[in-house]
Amino acid sequence: MEAGIRLVARTVLKQRFWVLALLVAITGFFALGLRHVELKTVFSDLLPSDHPYVQVYKDHPNFGNPLTVALLVKRKDGDIYNAETLQLIWDLTRDIDLSPGVDHDQVLSVATEKARYAEATPYGIDSRPLMGDAPPRTAEEIETFKRAVLKSPYAQQFLISEDESGALITATFIERLLDYGETHTYLQQLVEDARDENHEIHIAGQPMLTGWVYFYEVQMLFIFSITGLALLLALILYMRNFVGVVAPLLSSLIAAVWGFGFVGWLGVPIEPLIMVVPLLLVARSFSHCVQFIERYFEILTHVKDRRRAAEIALTVMTAPSVLGIVTDATGLFLIGIAPIPAMERFALFCGFWAMMLVPTNVLLTPLLLSLLPTPRNAAQLMGAGETGFYAALRRGLARLATLTFGKAGRWTAISLAIATVYAAWNVTQIQVGNPVEGSSLLKERSEFNRAVAQINQDFPGVNTLEVVFEAKSLEGESRVAREAETAFVQSRLQALVEKMPDPPEASLSFADYLPEANRLFAGGNPKWAPLDYDDRAVAAAASALLVGTSPKAFSHVADFELRHSTVSFWYKDNKQDTVDRAIEQVRSAIAQLGSEYPNFSVRLGTGTIALQQSLNDTVDTYQWYILAALNLVILVACSFAYRSIMAGLILLVPVNLSNLYLGVAMTQLGIGLDVNTLPIAAIGIGVGIDYGIYLLSRICEEYDPSTGVEQAIVRSVSTTGKAIFFTASIVLIGILPWYFLSELKFLADMGLLLVMVMLINMLVALIALPLLMWMLKPAFMSAGNHAMSESFNADDHRQPDTENSPIHRCEALGST
Amino acid sequence: MHIKRYTTDWTRRAFLQKTAVGVAGAGLLKPLWSSMAHADDMTKAYPEELLSIEAYTKGAFSAGDMITADNVDQVAELLDPLTVMQIRDMGRKIELVDSTRDITRLFPHEYLEATLRNKGKAGLDANGNVIVAETGQPWIGGNPFPEPTSPEQTFANLVMSWGRHDDSVYAIRDWDIAPNGKLSYQYDFIWAEQNTVGRVASDAPYIQGEEDKLRYQAVWFTSPADAKGTAFLNTWKYDQREFPDLVGYLPAFKRVRRFPTNQRFEPLVPGITIFLSDAWAAGDPMLTWGNYKIVETKPMLGAVSGNWTGDVDKNWERGVHGGPDGQTFFDTKMELCPEVIVVEAEPVGYPRAPVSKKRVYIDARNMMFIGYVTFDRRGEMWKTFEPSFSQYATNDAQLLDGDHPAWSWTHVHSHDVQSNRMSRFLQAKQMSGGHKSVYNMGSDIYSRYLTPQAIRRFGT
């Protein structure tokens, strides 16, 4: 293999202009794809497609439709029954109907025609909107309106708060027409314009949440630019030469063009929230380049010829670089195992980008190095002269290395074992799912989360669990929602769940509307309210309910064809405890009633509660699948590369330890494992294995049986360890501003999490791996036949002044 | 060699000039109705380019050709944008037929005679209602304003007589198609209407004692089983500022009930996309809408002839095509209508209306609408309501409405493009329950269909 690599390296450098031309052409191709790049959230793509709850949601998207916003008008100094507040409710209702993407048939408030009261009069059914053709203005009109509300039990429960200080306006959006950014801008402006000294206005719902993420995109891009600058600055400060800055910068930029261009050509949208990962990929690209350049400088100092040094660097670095990149990319590709379309797209996008670091870093960097001017400070960078920051860093790392062998090594091993036991216990406490009320994407005191809390306080809330009554036949005149057995089982289900301890805040079904319709059409006497549970009576009540109205007015409880219907249960919040309880309650009630009937099946479920649980179930399950698959890939790839299963196993230890410690960090920081944080864990493993491969290769290279593994460890940690330290540090410096600057809690959390990823992986790589090598002293360490050796024969390339080279170590590296 | 006397540019300029000066009367070369008085055909009123699709499209299309997704762009300017979308994106096809040059084929005979007889007699009173200008009496029949000079006069032609027969019973079969192309609902119903004024085939223009009303109109559902017996009765006031009275009967409750009548943007029964407001593009009293204006005059394609299927289907039903399941659209024939007046109006009398305006395309020759589009409050197109008309006569069959071939509507597409639900319905010869389509049946229509007792009787 090594001969092959050497041949490739020689050819690439010999034909460097052709290779460069090819890379430029490919870059041009992908650059054209940039026009089609789209940052966009597709809500249904954020859900795990194979989960039974998601299948229920996709079969019945109208039930518990998450694309609904709830706007609360709250009077600060009294109730809503005054001309000013009622006018405000009227205006906001009319204005919300102008929102981009709104479904005009699904706007509901006390000011819409759908909120009606009905009474039987000698002349017939008088079914009128609660408000007339204008909001009530005089005291008499307001009193009449108030009486009308009292005759409309569902308006009282769902549209006006119990203390009468708040009114709710809900609007559902059509997904194919919904542009979250545009809708959010419109609604937020509406809310801000409506706020005054007498009214609080709150607005919540999934479209607003995603809209907030879009809103913070500008801030996110600003923070990312700070990160980019910080990375660049760190690079400049570290390298302090032209080539050391330009080569990583160009390589990373080209990789980015390839990555974005690829998804542009595929025409798949990128979820804005995962844009943190591409930034990390830039950092990873820097990291690989720096590793490469450091090695190049070492060799250059030795051979004094740019092209030759680049060729040698390419020869010796190809295997570890490619292995590191491939394992990185594999980690990202494996995220696609989770059957969540947005994750699948993410895996494809980021995995491809990461994989393209092979041509853009491994191939392009040596080409650039061979063409760009020779740096003057290469020797200094290599820590020559035992002075300055680099030398101090080297000494510090060397001292750190001494903790991994001998007597200190034993203590380190014991400490590590204790820490691991603690971590293993602690990590069982990690919360899968949402640890807060509202959304963990935004800060607890964010406008959105305050809105959620206020609406949950004043109304049944925004979190529902839907139990769908699904018709078995969709043909013919059978309309199961208006059959007696459906109505009966729905009412029984509601009664059972509402009698349980900690019952839901409210429940609603199509069956709930029928008795009132029956009463009114039968003449108005309350004695006509109870329904006979036969098909004729229930169908008659349903007909009465739907006369002169579109079935869309009831689309929250029955589908347009009146075949499928739902029972909605409202819960106070969407914290994981509440979600668990809700599902348990409803599941046990369904178990009592049975789920299969001649004309329908009872399916659990959809709504925000069920959909959140579907994500949690998926994340909980697939995190192990991804971890196991990643371990397997790493084991196979590394064992093959080092021609030793022991090498594969040794590399897996720090990687998994880091993952374990990351879990502890998340627990301590109160960050839950969810669909957004799952990729970070996989990336963490990619980072860890990268460090491990570079360090292990260097230890193998440095190992000389005559001086022992200890010397090899010291040399490796103080050289390759320095590059690891640098790459971890610059990412850390670049990402830390996220925590302090971002209004988006998700980004702040990600910042903190990524800092943890880099720190933990760095420390574990620098300590655990050398420790293992010292303890196990594996045979492959001294075997020269694996593909990962970075060594080269200095004698082959010695120049006249080589004796003065500070890289004395190179002379000893004659193993190949 | 065919020498063009008038190019399309000339036509366009002529229409622009007409619209600019607010002249809505038919005829470009000379007024259509003065040509009619001299027993001329339409060639005196319009250049050849507006009476032949072949001439208009410079040979690209001719009668018998089909408009499809492949060629719709060439005639897009002759269709409303939603019809273009249906053809381009949903697989709809439209067959072209020759333009009608004989105006008698665009009216019921008596209605055309009344239009000619009463030409120039109509006016609008101070409230905006149509009256006989000299006497101030209610209208006496035919189009009140065949040569309108304002958008209100143009629109009034649609209002005074919906079906253009004194009495009409339509046996209607309706299919409501879901966005996935599957059948969502299907109804059979009877639509009965009787004009109480403006009668053209009767001895007197008014039903005695009913001059304060415009019409009675009822809908009776005969199928499916769960809707059978459900019926509604509208009583329209002559004063177009007032809402009609609406009562309904649900057989399960055995009671006639009054329903609110000012909520006109909801369907009567589940599944249909048609609102009360949509009937005949003039389903609301005319003066509850306002800000009428003529926005354009231009040639368009309209389904105004060749659409009766009495010679090929004994029940006058027709083929379907297009949409995801091949059943979203009826087969339809359209001709080039030389002059179509585009009128817009706003629902000023409905503070809570979900629509911001309606745009009605009116064929200037017979002042009947050939298309109707509503816009939501954001100004985006919401629904299109496209009727098809025909004289009920072919080479092999004909139906008389007395002594003359009948003229009526044949089928309608009502498409809610935002939710992508299509209601399409046709006038059948006969339908479940044995009810038949019939015109000018006389005073029996009232007792059989148009009283509270009748709708109660029907449901029991």
A124–B351 CB contact, under 8 Å: no
Q: What is the dihedral angle through the alpha carbons of A135, A137, A139, A142, rounded to the nearest 10 degrees?
A: 10
Give the pLDDT band of residue A667 (cuts 50, 70, 90): confident
Tell me phi and psi for residue B334, to 5 degrees.
Answer: -130, 155
Distance from CA of A467 to the nearest CA of B (A): 23
Q: Is residue B284 part of a domain?
A: yes
**Chain A to chain B Cβ contacts (< 8 Å):** 108
pLDDT of the residue at A795: 53
Query: Rounded CA gap, B36 and B45, in Å?
Result: 9
A398-426 pLDDT tens trace? 888 899 898 899 999 999 999 999 888 88
Angle (CA) B18 B20 B23, round 5°: 40
Question: How distant, in Å, are the alpha carbons of A357, A518, A697, B410 from that of A322?
Answer: 9, 74, 13, 72
Q: Which 8-state DSSP code applies to residue A62?
A: T
Q: Is residue B138 part of a domain?
A: no
List the single residue in A113, A550, A562 with the smallest CB-CB distance to B267.
A550
Binning chain A into helix, strand and coil, the percentages to the nearest 5 are 65, 10, 25
pLDDT of the residue at A812: 30
Give the pLDDT band of residue A232 (cuts 50, 70, 90): confident
pLDDT of the residue at A809: 34
Per-residue pLDDT at A145 exceeds 50: yes
Question: How distant, in Å, are the alpha carbons of A288, A781, A786 from that of A647?
Answer: 21, 9, 11
As given in the structure block, the two tokens for residue A494 are 């509601």
Q: Lowest-confidence range among A497-511, A655-669, B215-229, B406-420?
A: A655-669
Alpha helices by DSSP H, A304-405: 306-334, 341-355, 357, 364-371, 378-381, 388-401
Over range A543-569, report the average pLDDT: 86
Distance from CA of A680 to the nearest CA of B (A): 40
Residues in A touching B258 (Cβ below 8 Å): 121, 123-126
Residue in chain A lying closest to B257 (CA): A124
Q: Report helix angle A206-215 to A447-458, nearest 10.
A: 170
Question: How distant, in Å, are the alpha carbons of A96, A113, A188, A241, A749 from that of A91?
Answer: 8, 14, 15, 63, 39
Residues in A touching B351 (Cβ below 8 Å): 133-134
pLDDT of the residue at A150: 86
Q: How far apart are the first and last CA of chain A?
A: 13
Residue type, B88: R
Give the pLDDT band of residue B133 (cuts 50, 70, 90): very high
Residues 6 or more apart whose CB falls under 8 angstroms from that of B432 comprise B188, B222, B223
Question: How distant, in Å, are the alpha carbons of A173, A189, A642, B168, B365 from that of B160?
Answer: 40, 46, 93, 14, 17
B253–A544 CB contact, under 8 Å: yes
Residue in chain B lying closest to A562 (CA): B270
Query: Rounded CA gap, B257 and B246, in Å?
Result: 9
Distance from CA of B231 to the nearest CA of A (A): 10
Q: How many domains does chain B have?
A: 1
B143-169 pLDDT tens trace? 999 999 899 999 999 999 999 999 999
pLDDT of the residue at A520: 78
B286 three-state secondary structure = helix
pLDDT of the residue at B314: 92
Q: Which of B253, B275, B278, B350 should be substituted to probe chain A, the one whose Cβ sees the most A Cβ atoms within 10 Å?
A: B253
Query: Rounded CA gap, A790 and A160, in Å?
Result: 73
Query: Rounded CA gap, A637 and A630, in Å?
Result: 10
Among candidate residues B218, B239, B234, the one with its CA nearest the CA of residue B139: B239
List the single residue in A103, A477, A522 with the smallest CB-CB distance to B226.
A477
A92 three-state secondary structure = helix
Give the pLDDT band of residue A230 (cuts 50, 70, 90): confident
- Beta bridge mates, A298: none
B250–A543 CB contact, under 8 Å: yes
- Beta bridge mates, B235: B216, B245
Q: Lowest-confidence range among A451-460, A751-760, B387-396?
A: A751-760
Q: What is the dihedral angle through the alpha carbons of B161, B165, B168, B172, rounded to the nearest 10 degrees?
A: -80
Residue in chain B lying closest to A528 (CA): B253
pLDDT of the residue at B23: 59
Distance from CA of A513 to the nearest CA of B (A): 16
Q: Report helix angle A535-546 to A510-521, nearest 10.
A: 80
As given in the structure block, the two tokens for residue B429 are 């010869």
Question: How distant, in Å, are the alpha carbons of A231, A259, A731 from that of A252?
Answer: 12, 10, 14
Residues 6 or more apart whose CB falls under 8 angstroms from that of A694 comprise A291, A320, A324, A720, A723, A724
Q: Report helix angle A2-14 to A306-334, nearest 10.
A: 120
Residue type, A122: P
Per DSSP bridges, beta strands A506-509 and A166-173 are unpaired
Secondary structure of A520-554 in HEC code, one letter for each residue = HHCCCCHHHCCCCCCHHHHHHHHHHHHCCCCHHHH
Angle (CA) A632 A636 A637, round 5°: 115
A97–B377 CB contact, under 8 Å: yes
Q: Is residue B380 part of a domain?
A: yes
Residues in A touching B271 (Cβ below 8 Å): 551, 560-561
Instruction: Say if A536 is an interface residue toward chain B (CB within 8 Å).
Output: yes
Q: What is the mean pLDDT of chain B?
A: 90
Instruction: Say if A105 is an interface residue toward chain B (CB within 8 Å).
Output: yes
Selected residue with higher pLDDT from B28 and B140: B140
What percent of chain A has pLDDT above 90?
Answer: 28
pLDDT of the residue at B37: 63
pLDDT of the residue at A803: 37
Q: Are A112 and A94 in contact (CB under 8 A)?
A: no
Buried b (16+ CB within 10 A) or exposed e, A548-575: bbbbbbbbbbbbbbbbbbbbbbbbbbbb
B418–A523 CB contact, under 8 Å: no
Q: Lowest-confidence range among A235-239, A331-335, B323-327, B337-341?
A: A235-239
Instruction: Say if A176 is an interface residue toward chain B (CB within 8 Å).
Output: no
Which domain does B278 fall in, by range? Answer: 164-459
Per-residue pLDDT at A800 exceeds 60: no
Distance from CA of A263 to the nearest CA of B (A): 27
Per-residue pLDDT at B3 exceeds 50: no
Q: Are A291 and A690 in contact (CB under 8 A)?
A: no
Neighbouring CB atoms inside 10 A of A332's CB total: 24
List the single residue in A97, A133, A174 with the smallest CB-CB distance to B351.
A133
Q: Is residue B26 part of a domain?
A: no
Return the H-helix or E-strand segment holding A257: helix A242-266
The enclosing domain of B205 has a CATH number of: 2.50.20.10
A540–B252 CB contact, under 8 Å: yes
As given in the structure block, the two tokens for residue A718 are 């103080």
List the single residue in A98, A134, A544 with the smallest CB-CB distance to B378.
A98
Any idea which residue has 């006639």 for tokens?
Answer: B256
Residues 6 or more apart whose CB falls under 8 angstroms from that of B253 comprise A521, A522, A540, A544
Instruction: Say if A137 is an interface residue toward chain B (CB within 8 Å).
Output: no
pLDDT of the residue at B217: 95
Query: Rounded CA gap, A606 and A59, in Å?
Result: 10
pLDDT of the residue at A383: 56
Distance from CA of B438 to the nearest CA of A (A): 27
Q: Is residue B266 part of a domain?
A: yes
Return the H-helix or E-strand segment holding B358: strand B355-363
Q: Which of A58, A110, A113, A554 should be substituted to probe chain B, the one whose Cβ sees the most B Cβ atoms within 10 Å?
A: A113
pTM exceeds 0.80:
no
Tell me phi and psi for residue A396, to 5 degrees.
Answer: -60, -45
Residue in chain A lying closest to B382 (CA): A104
pLDDT of the residue at A293: 86
Q: Lowest-confidence range among A43-52, A629-638, A645-654?
A: A43-52
Residues in B touching A546 (Cβ below 8 Å): 269-270
Residues in A touching B256 (Cβ below 8 Å): 124
A359-410 pLDDT tens trace? 988 888 888 888 888 777 766 666 555 567 777 888 888 888 899 898 899 9
Instruction: Say if A130 is an interface residue toward chain B (CB within 8 Å).
Output: no
Secondary structure of B287-298 in HEC code, one letter for each residue = HHCEEEEEEEEE
As given in the structure block, the two tokens for residue A283 are 């950092």
Residues in A touching B382 (Cβ below 8 Å): 104
Instruction: Say if A550 is an interface residue toward chain B (CB within 8 Å).
Output: yes
Instruction: Say if A114 is an interface residue toward chain B (CB within 8 Å).
Output: no
Query: Rounded CA gap, B251 and A501, in Å?
Result: 44
B350–A124 CB contact, under 8 Å: no
Per DSSP bridges, beta strands A124-129 and A102-108 are unpaired
Q: Is residue B145 part of a domain?
A: no
B352–A133 CB contact, under 8 Å: yes
Question: How distant, in Å, are the alpha carbons of A228, A462, A655, A726 from that of A735?
Answer: 9, 34, 21, 14
